[in-house]
Amino acid sequence: MKEKLWVFIVKFILISAPLFVVWHLKGQDWYLVFLNHVLSFLLIKIAGFHIHGFPFPVDIFNNLIPFVSLMLITKEFKLKTKLSRLGWGLWILIVWHMILTGAVYFLYDEYGVPSQAYEKLSVPLYLFSATLPLVLWILFARKQVVGLFLRGKKSAK
């Protein structure tokens, strides 16, 4: 039997709420330390850039939570498949966070003031970041998404 949309939404809220609490209490801090180490290694040690602190767009990084929540409550996956798709999605989001942080850093001028390019590119970058978890969920769970939203229709093969 297919799940009703309202049940799916309630499950999403019940899973997301505690994840957001954990994220805001400690997870975000740990994640920033992790990103700082990885970006420092990649951009300073390997690429040789002289960078003094990254301007982390922290408000975007919590987009990990909706993706994890959506993948956890999506039915009809074997555990191995669910974990694999969850892992790939998290990897894509983390790589995007590194790209976004680098882009924000390089779009500021030498005095720490946003450049004209930043003003033109920031909205599309942030919109893409905000929608990426939903897009990944649709890509990784398209049969389940179609089944959830299109009642009476056959799921996409």
Query: Each residue of 27-46: pLDDT tens digit?
Result: 999 999 998 888 888 877 77
What's the pLDDT at 58?
82
Q: C-alpha distances in angstroms, 105 versus 33, 34, 52, 97?
A: 17, 17, 10, 12
Q: Does residue 123 lie in a domain region?
A: yes
Per-residue pLDDT tens digits for 127-156: 999 999 999 999 999 988 888 877 655 544
Q: Does residue 109 lie in a domain region?
A: yes
Q: Does residue 141 lie in a domain region?
A: yes
Split at pLDDT 50, 70, 90, the class of 122 is confident
What's the pLDDT at 21?
96
Average pLDDT over residues 105-121: 71
Q: How far does Cα 72 stand from its chain's mean position?
A: 14
Q: Does residue 154 lie in a domain region?
A: no
Q: Does residue 112 lie in a domain region?
A: yes
Domain that holds residue 101: 5-149
Tokens of 133: 């978890």
Average pLDDT in the chain: 85
pTM of the model: 0.82
What's the pLDDT at 95?
93
Stronger pLDDT, 2 or 125, i.e. the higher one: 125
CA angle centred on 69, ends 63 and 72, rounded to 5°: 140
Q: Does residue 95 lie in a domain region?
A: yes
Q: Does residue 156 lie in a domain region?
A: no
Burial class (CB in 10 A: 0-12, 13-18, 19+), 19: middle
- The number of domains in the chain is 1
What's the pLDDT at 25?
94
Q: Does residue 128 lie in a domain region?
A: yes
What SS3 state is found at 108? strand
What's the pLDDT at 103?
81
What SS3 state is found at 51? coil
